[in-house]
Chain A
Amino acid sequence: MSRGPGEEELSTHDHAHDHRHGHDHAHPTLPDAAERLGYYQRMEIAVRELLIAKGIVTADAIRRSIEAMDARTPAQGARIVARAWTDAAYKQRLLDNGTAACQELGIEMGPTRLVVVENTPSVHNLIVCTLCSCYPRPVLGLPPDWYKSRAYRSRAVREPRAVLAEFGTVIPADIAVRVHDSTADMRYLVLPERPSGTAGMSEAELAALVTRDSMIGVATARQPTGG
């Protein structure tokens, strides 16, 4: 029988045998390395090795850059949102100039020009980049795989309400869905609505309710538990 590797794995145990057997047949695993590198992978390695050989950058500097990129997480965005929920003047500055308001909280924004869009009782915002995968990395870290998928990128502009419903977010017809296609020089962050029942909560407690998906706009902020 001819099977693909995925099928083989799924059906490994559909044949009759004792599970304490001595494993005399191979269980398929993912290969340790891709069989061959792609063009851009080879190019990246070649350029990196040349830059290091010529003393232009060091391996440690590259490693530190990767470490810094990986250290950026949605916790940054959550901190911004929680501050905006508790400080009306800060919220206004955030909506006026997202980059400056993030820098105010010590977040390194680099060249990112951030536009913050606010969810209200009459508007729900959703972010997509139909051209590639533009994403507000300084405040959310690396984008999830689905954000870069062709299906999300094409459907979020074409049928946003259906996409939102698949994420479990059903937007009533009297609330406008406003999609933002980040096609050029701006990056976008959704300021979700503050959940009800959070009046006495601290900024740190509020930040824990702010998920990555709520700042992309495919979900709302978490409801507090036990309330």
Chain B
Amino acid sequence: MKAAAQWSVTPALAARFAPGDRVRVRRADPPGHLRTPWYIRGHAGTVERLCGTFPNPEEIAYFRSGLPAQPLYRVRFAQKALWPDYAGADGDTIDIEIYQHWLEPA
């Protein structure tokens, strides 16, 4: 992916997932600066793209390098799977950027 290559920070961890893969967001609540929204933890979605590799914000927040960089994905979730009473169409989705260490195969 052109954009991903241009935007990658190195050294970086190898990407575990590819577009189309089903992944689940870890249901975890560690202390610190987190960029994984609470509402998406524990939910399963599909990798839309690999954005590139970026220093881990949870480390940067405490003045560490955040390296090796984490692969960052855009993951697509079905709205009706997130909110049981969702008022909208079946095809409605939400895309969220999630770092690899928050994802596991689903």
Q: Which residues of A contact B (CB under 8 A)?
A: 96-97, 99-100, 113, 115, 130-131, 157-162, 173-186
* B-chain residues with CB within 8 Å of residue A182 when the two chains form the complex: 97
* Dominant secondary structure of chain A at its interface with chain B: mixed
Quote the shortest CB–CB distance from A160 to chain B (angstroms).
Answer: 7
Quote the shortest CB–CB distance from A114 to chain B (angstroms).
Answer: 9
B32 proximal to A (CB < 8 A) = no
Nearest residue, chain A, Cβ from B55: A185
Binary contact readout B20-37 vs A (1 if CB under 8 angstroms, 0 otherwise): 000000000000000111
> Shortest 3 CB-CB distances between A and B: which pairs?
A184-B97, A176-B91, A179-B94
Nearest residue, chain A, Cβ from B5: A97
Q: Which residues of B contact A (CB under 8 A)?
A: 2-3, 6-7, 35-37, 39, 51-52, 54, 57, 72, 74, 79, 83, 86-89, 91-99
Contact yes or no, A96 B87, CB < 8 A? no
* Dominant secondary structure of chain B at its interface with chain A: mixed
Quote the shortest CB–CB distance from B84 to chain A (angstroms).
Answer: 12
Contact yes or no, B93 A179, CB < 8 A? yes
Nearest residue, chain A, Cβ from B92: A177
Quote the shortest CB–CB distance from A139 to chain B (angstroms).
Answer: 16
Quote the shortest CB–CB distance from B66 to chain A (angstroms).
Answer: 11
Contact yes or no, A183 B36, CB < 8 A? yes
Q: What is the bound-complex CA distance between A182 and B72, given in angstroms? A: 12
* B-chain residues with CB within 8 Å of residue A178 when the two chains form the complex: 92-95
* B-chain residues with CB within 8 Å of residue A97 when the two chains form the complex: 2-3, 6
Contact yes or no, B74 A186, CB < 8 A? yes
Q: What is the bound-complex CA distance between A41 and B7, given in angstroms? A: 34
Q: What is the bound-complex CA distance between A185 and B72, given in angstroms? A: 8
Quote the shortest CB–CB distance from A96 to chain B (angstroms).
Answer: 6
14 more A-B residue pairs beyond the given contacts A173-B89, A178-B92, A181-B95, with a C-beta to C-beta distance below 8 A: A97-B2, A113-B7, A131-B35, A157-B39, A157-B94, A175-B89, A176-B91, A179-B94, A181-B37, A181-B96, A184-B98, A184-B99, A185-B7, A185-B54
